[in-house]
Structure 1
Amino acid sequence: MRSLFFICLFLFTSSAALAEQKLSISAETFGQLPKVEGIQMSPDGTRLAMFQSYKGRKTLVTTSLREGEIGPIYPISFQEVEYSWFRWLNNDQLAVSVRFPGKRFGTETMETRFLSMNWNGSDAVNLVKTQRMGAWRSTGDKWASQYQDDVVSFLPDDPDHILLALDSFESMNEPDVYKVNIHDADRSRVVRTRGSINDWYADQKGVVRLGIGYNRRNRERIIYRKSEDDGWKTIAKYDLIEDDIPFVFEQFSSDPNIIFVSAVDENGRKAYYKYDLDAGDFAGKIAGSDEGDVGSLDIDEEGNLQSYHYDGAKPVTVYTDKHRQAIDVFFAKKFPDETVRIISASKDKRKYIVEVTSPQNPGDFYLLDLDKKTMNGFAEKYPGLDHGKLAPMKPVIYAARDGLEIPGYLSLPVGKDPKKLPTVIMPHGGPNARDNWEFDYWVQLLTTRGYAVLQMNYRGSTGFGVKFENLGDQEWGGKMLDDINDGTRWMIEQGYADPDNICIMGGSYGGYAALQAPVKEQGLYKCAVALAPVTDMSSFMFHERKYVGFQIYRHYIRNDELSYDDMSPHENIDKINFPVLVAHGTDDRRVPFDQGEDFAKKMKKEKKDITFLKFEDGDHHLSREEHRVKFLKAVEKFLGKHLGGGAD
């Protein structure tokens, strides 16, 4: 069974090559795209679909476990787009979302398209037809929604249709809801757009019962109806800048009078509650933890809570369903000190796809069959990677200069004396995000080269309570950077870091921090590495003004004591007196490419030590393997030159 699956899933690698494959910690091995990820089984559990890496690109692959179908594998690839996600529509068909960079009215965008196809890739149908552009119909110009994959419901009782939210030229970002035929893309409108409603939600039966809208005055409202026959009423409205948000809608329950919402609990953590729509009040907490914000719920097709997940120092899933609780006990015994997640299940809950991960395990996949009482491993994310040389990740806490406790993770190279090591400080991107206890290919590349790595969840990071997150407001170029620098000093004080051999490295906001944190405290770092960094705050904010939510974003970043120039590496090049490596993709739709390129040009003009990597057609996330490998090789060479170290 194991060998059968192994050969099926790794269709682009021969069994002989797999058998002879040597374990490695090379940049090529770390930089490979995950060979397998996102595995989903069909509702009856007899077919599998997954993403695989093929020729350096993410490719959708399907295969069958049915008698008579075992063996053939179907790669489904596109040349001009990247995959976003897929889902089984039924046992024979898939829904697939793809994305690509575009431009509308002179503004750079990320576009999505949405298709249905047979499980073997045949008979693909673009599920959104273009339409004429309202007042310009006579010109023959066509309109296509920017986001075409906003599925409101997969309609469990109607195998031939889905509900899809689509806007029009007359009502951009305020969509109607359509019932779309998955075979021929014919559609009919079932819910008409209502003033400033941007997102629609359907219950487990496919009835659209809730909408959330945001207007240009920074006000948001939530409308609701109990059934298809009832009228809409507003159940909440608030100012996104001035007001505390009363709750965030999450899911429908089995009771039409009750919805599940998230809100801040008595400990300042994000928790989940029942909300009584008739009473207009909370009706009891259903999920919460003192260790961290609850991040997600698993609700079954009947609207009942199955489990919830939160990230404390390590990730935790709490099962409320007795069936899942029994399975979790088995997992805990079989995979101690690892994270085990069920990522897909058959409709009858007798077959499961299970992913097992840890900082030292990028991911192994298993098929659990309760009827056969078997659990067989069949794939891994990073084949050929030498797990024995990967570093454990230790949760740590240090104090910022104002006394705030900053949680983080320390990774130390295996087999090295943990004293006065060459060190890389690695702030995460976002900044509304967090680092977790998990495999990180950047971190592990560095530890295998002999570097200590500190990742910190500076103030403003998510997952540690609303107060901690709100402390990041208007601190983009202020105390967030202080927290990062305080982490560097903590590494020195604890004896882990060689004070003369420290580099800082990050991507996106982390890339910005890698350039600006050394500006705030000169002499602390020997070098910096920045992927897709914001470098010119004035230019960046001018660019951001074109997008929905700009006023809220501007309020979040603005600091009365710091100008945009004060906050910009581009305007502080006179203080950047250390070697810098910057990399940026030309198709980055989150941080414009010219943020990296213009900074590099100015550095060169000022005769600073700058290495600039341009990734043609590259996005914000190093989605292509060639870019990943090129970046890691450049980092390895750059750090080797300035910090020493290297692979054993």
Structure 2
Amino acid sequence: MRLTTTLTALAAVLAATPAMAQTLAEDAAVFGARQSVEDVSISPSGDQLLYIQPGAQADETIYVVNLKTGGEPTPVITMNEARARLQWCAWATEQRIVCSLFGMQDIGGTLLGFTRILSIASDGSDTEMLTSTSNRARGTLQDGGSLLALDIAGEEDKVLMTKRYIKEDGANTRLFNDKEGLGVDKVDVDNGRGRPVEDANRMAADYIADENGRVRIMMAQDTTASGYDGSDFRFLYRTADSDEWQPLSVVDSTGNLDRGFVPVAVDSSKNVAYGFDIVNGFKALFSVKLDGSNARELVMARDDVDVDGLIRIGRKRRVVGASYATEKRFVEYFDAELDKLAGALAKALPGKPLVSIVDASEDENEIVLIASSDTDPGTVYLFEKDSRSLSELLALRTPLAGRAMGTMKPVTYPASDGTQIPGYLTLPPGSDGKDLPAVVLPHGGPGARDEWGFDWLVQFFTARGYAVMQPNFRGSAGYGSAWFGKNGFQAWETAVSDVNDAGRWLISQGIANPAKLAGVGWSYGGYATLQSQVLDPDLFKAVVAIAPVTDLELLREENRRYTNFLAYDKFIGKGPHVEAGSPARHADRFSAPVLLVHGSMDQNTTIAQSKLMEDRLAGAGKSVDLLEFEGLDHYIKHSQARGIMLNRIGEFLEASLGS
């Protein structure tokens, strides 16, 4: 195997954890640690691999490994800013890496997220900012651009990326910019200089390029007189031989459900756009001809769940398949060669059925993939077509090596109205599944769903002896528009009732000890666990809410300062459900002690939500505690902070449940 030396070096770098943790503090540290590897990319030649390795605090280091010669991984650059983090990195050329950086700023009391795209020499010797910025701009540049193409035909040192234009002060100067809107630039990754490909367009919200780097689709969004973004979108396209824009589709975005054809990729060889639309209440994959006919073809649809994933491969992001999730996620490949490879990988990796292709070399001879399961956090592999060899590269969570994990089992349970609710039950390793302390863990969103696979939060609880139930309550995405309904805020009573019924089912099956049942949730899941107390204050004996919504009207008003306010306003809706569905307004109903966790730089659900809940509960004489993380956002992506959080949750549950 050509990677023997490299793998030894990688193992040495990533092996940084003691053996088998047993105490709460040790479990909290190892399960709270971020992934050992958070992104992977292979160079155009297939000879070099880069990966991002988070540190114990806010630091993230980019490493490069020469797969041909082996040797120690080389640290390229370390980012160490608490309010900014790397989103992804990819090879632009054999010598340059491009990376996207996300950060948060507090400007006059308003939290603003921002992105920037950087180009970094693969040896770390030089860094260039590809996002075009100006100190004369009349506003704050939040959108640092999105990468449309890594591979532009005939121009290997260029990438295609969007550019946000903001009017500048200084109208009498030669370099004054009077444009505003979204355009597209062709940018040199060596020096950061850009050349316009699409001029600024005030109506443009996004663009899609084909595999050769030609812009073929524009998403347009209206702006209201008050300055807010409209909630409807128009997509326009270009034929292969024209630069004129033609109408493609109109999309109504209502309550997180898109109605109308939403293109996501263009295949110029077939001259089609791939995208999603609704068929009989379920999301389906279509292709639409970009030749003036707008001829539509159904590519994949199901009558039980949404087809919601498009599978793409390589530097040109070639469309090769689609995916959907029933009890587990499945991929269907349109590409015969990849379909055959998937079958071979299933036999070679029988214990890791979740296999995803994450990158490929320019000729697609070297393919990087990740294989995982419910009990295996995942491993990065390299498959080489010419030699038909499969090599193990990197473990995604090195600190958890050798740990026994709980098996995630798909289940259904009856709601109070008789509807069968799907979900996942995970029991502690070696448990008989009877009379256990238990956690009901509703997902965030609410326009999301839980899926079968490894979950660090679930496995922390099972390591501490808890059974964990994850309900895909009505209001979850993935099961069609009827299941999603009005969404989990406007139809909160249905969604939260389903969450509570998950707890009742655990008790009825003898799995949960009724005196040791807790509700834990993050984001919308935190909202649901708090609101569960309003419906049935005696069910859960402890409630943990991480970054929750606690007042729907406050959520609406907090978003009034942002351009996407109308989407939030429509999503929350108006009516009696706003008052009834706000747990902070019903603190007197609470019976269980409450632990709140929040980051001070959370833009999704501001810390004001948790502070309001804390104030209302304390004022009502209820038991409440707030754990605040200064400078962290909604996702608390900080290993030490997550370890502290898990340790505090563990202590809280043990004290509250007597477990």
TM-score, length-scaled by structure 1: 0.91
Partner deviation per Cα, 1:25-44 (whole Å, 9 max, x = no partner) = 52211111111232211111
Picking from 284, 290, 293, the partner of 2:306 is: 293
> Is the contact made by 1:473 and 1:556 (CA closer than 8 Å) also made in structure 2?
no
1:478 to 2:475 alignment = no
C-alpha distance in 1 between matches for 2:566 and 2:55: 41
Using the TM superposition, give the Cα deviation of residue 474 of structure 1 relative to its aligned residue in structure 2, in angstroms.
Answer: 5.2
How large is the RMSD of aligned CA atoms in angstroms?
A: 2.6
460-469 or 233-242, which deviates more: 233-242
Partner deviation per Cα, 1:538-590 (whole Å, 9 max, x = no partner) = 2221011222332232222225332x332222221111121111111111121
Equivalent in the alignment of 1:196: 203
1:272 to 2:285 alignment = yes
Picking from 83, 92, 95, the partner of 1:92 is: 95
Distance 1:91 1:209, change over 3 A: same
Equivalent in the alignment of 1:260: 274
Picking from 326, 332, 336, the partner of 1:312 is: 326
C-alpha distance in 1 between matches for 2:382 and 2:642: 30
> Is the contact made by 2:240 and 2:290 (CA closer than 8 Å) also made in structure 1?
no
1:115 to 2:128 alignment = no
C-alpha distance in 2 between matches for 1:303 and 1:602: 50
C-alpha distance in 2 between matches for 1:83 and 1:348: 27
> Is the contact made by 2:593 and 2:623 (CA closer than 8 Å) also made in structure 1?
yes
C-alpha distance in 2 between matches for 1:303 and 1:533: 36
C-alpha distance in 1 between matches for 2:602 and 2:640: 16
> Is the contact made by 2:304 and 2:480 (CA closer than 8 Å) also made in structure 1?
no
C-alpha distance in 1 between matches for 2:96 and 2:127: 10
1:213 to 2:205 alignment = no
SS of match in other structure, 1:485: helix
Using the TM superposition, give the Cα deviation of residue 514 of structure 1 relative to its aligned residue in structure 2, in angstroms.
Answer: 1.4
Equivalent in the alignment of 1:137: none
Equivalent in the alignment of 1:31: 32
Specify the code of the residue in structure 2 equivalent to 1:235: L
> Is the contact made by 2:251 and 2:261 (CA closer than 8 Å) also made in structure 1?
no
C-alpha distance in 2 between matches for 1:229 and 1:386: 55
> Is the contact made by 2:157 and 2:189 (CA closer than 8 Å) also made in structure 1?
yes
Equivalent in the alignment of 1:251: 265
Distance 1:199 1:352, change over 3 A: same
Partner deviation per Cα, 1:176-233 (whole Å, 9 max, x = no partner) = 2122222222222221233522111111221112111222353321111114743112
Using the TM superposition, give the Cα deviation of residue 282 of structure 1 relative to its aligned residue in structure 2, in angstroms.
Answer: 4.8
Equivalent in the alignment of 2:183: 176
Distance 1:615 1:554, change over 3 A: same
Equivalent in the alignment of 2:43: 42
Specify the code of the residue in structure 2 equivalent to 1:625: S
SS of match in other structure, 1:419: coil
Using the TM superposition, give the Cα deviation of residue 342 of structure 1 relative to its aligned residue in structure 2, in angstroms.
Answer: 2.2
1:163 to 2:155 alignment = no
SS of match in other structure, 2:80: coil
Equivalent in the alignment of 1:546: 561
> Is the contact made by 1:130 and 1:143 (CA closer than 8 Å) also made in structure 2?
no
C-alpha distance in 2 between matches for 1:163 and 1:421: 55
> Is the contact made by 2:406 and 2:429 (CA closer than 8 Å) also made in structure 1?
yes
Equivalent in the alignment of 1:580: 594
517-526 or 242-251, which deviates more: 242-251
**Which consecutive unaligned segments of at least 5 residues does structure 2 have?**
168-177, 225-229
C-alpha distance in 2 between matches for 1:259 and 1:472: 29
SS of match in other structure, 1:487: helix
> Is the contact made by 2:429 and 2:463 (CA closer than 8 Å) also made in structure 1?
yes
231-240 or 426-435, which deviates more: 231-240
> Is the contact made by 1:62 and 1:120 (CA closer than 8 Å) also made in structure 2?
no
168-177 or 283-292, which deviates more: 168-177
Specify the code of the residue in structure 2 equivalent to 1:204: E
Picking from 445, 466, 469, the partner of 2:460 is: 445
1:567 to 2:581 alignment = yes
1:429-508 alignment runs, 5 A limit:
429-472=444-487, 475=490, 477-508=492-523
C-alpha distance in 1 between matches for 2:318 and 2:368: 21
Picking from 127, 139, 148, the partner of 1:152 is: 148
Distance 1:156 1:101, change over 3 A: same
C-alpha distance in 2 between matches for 1:387 and 1:175: 49
Equivalent in the alignment of 1:225: 238
C-alpha distance in 2 between matches for 1:194 and 1:595: 37
Partner deviation per Cα, 1:466-488 (whole Å, 9 max, x = no partner) = 22223526535321111111222
Equivalent in the alignment of 1:355: 370
**Which consecutive unaligned segments of at least 5 residues does structure 1 have?**
134-140
Using the TM superposition, give the Cα deviation of residue 105 of structure 1 relative to its aligned residue in structure 2, in angstroms.
Answer: 6.7
C-alpha distance in 2 between matches for 1:520 and 1:398: 19
Number of aligned residue pairs: give it.
Answer: 632
147-156 or 196-205, which deviates more: 147-156
253-262 or 458-467, which deviates more: 253-262
519-528 or 49-58, which deviates more: 49-58
Using the TM superposition, give the Cα deviation of residue 401 of structure 1 relative to its aligned residue in structure 2, in angstroms.
Answer: 2.6
> Is the contact made by 2:411 and 2:423 (CA closer than 8 Å) also made in structure 1?
yes
Distance 1:537 1:173, change over 3 A: farther
C-alpha distance in 1 between matches for 2:596 and 2:488: 27
C-alpha distance in 2 between matches for 1:440 and 1:299: 24
145-154 or 574-583, which deviates more: 145-154
Distance 1:116 1:144, change over 3 A: farther
Distance 1:548 1:405, change over 3 A: farther
Using the TM superposition, give the Cα deviation of residue 175 of structure 1 relative to its aligned residue in structure 2, in angstroms.
Answer: 0.6
> Is the contact made by 2:6 and 2:70 (CA closer than 8 Å) also made in structure 1?
no
